[in-house]
Amino acid sequence: ILLVGFRKWYYNAAGFNKIGLMRDDTIHEDGDVKEALRRLPEKVYNDRMFRLKRALDLSMKQAVLPKEQWTQYEEDVHYLEPYLEEVIRERKEVEEWSKK
């Protein structure tokens, strides 16, 4: 219970939720992430792009969303994680095969 409380506190302290972003929206885009993004379903990708554009606009205005529109810890879906894990697994398989 204490760990969940800390996670929620840290999630809010990070601040990205105040501009409507989810955790997976903040992952640095390296080659693996770019490939995972390419594999996202169109609606999920479009939702991500909307959140990123809105966050950029808010950031430029030095503003945040009204509190009722903040992304809540319980609502944050790790939508990119399964695709990213798949891409990393595939890349590692290819690296293993190329060593042989």
Domain count, the chain: 1
The mean of the pLDDT values for the chain is: 95
Domain membership of residue 90 as a residue range: 1-99
Q: Could you give the maximum distance between any two Cα atoms of the chain, in Å?
A: 56
CATH code for position 39: 1.10.1090.10
Q: pLDDT for 53-82, tens place per residue?
A: 999 999 999 999 999 999 999 999 999 999
Whole-model pTM?
Answer: 0.85
What is the band of 86 on the pLDDT scale with cuts at 50, 70, 90?
Answer: very high
Q: Give the pLDDT confidence score for residue 3 in this predicted structure.
A: 87
For CA atoms 18, 19, 23, 29, the dihedral sign is negative
User: 44, 53, 49: which is closest to 77 by C-alpha?
Assistant: 44
For the cut 90, the answer to whether the pLDDT of residue 37 exceeds it is: yes
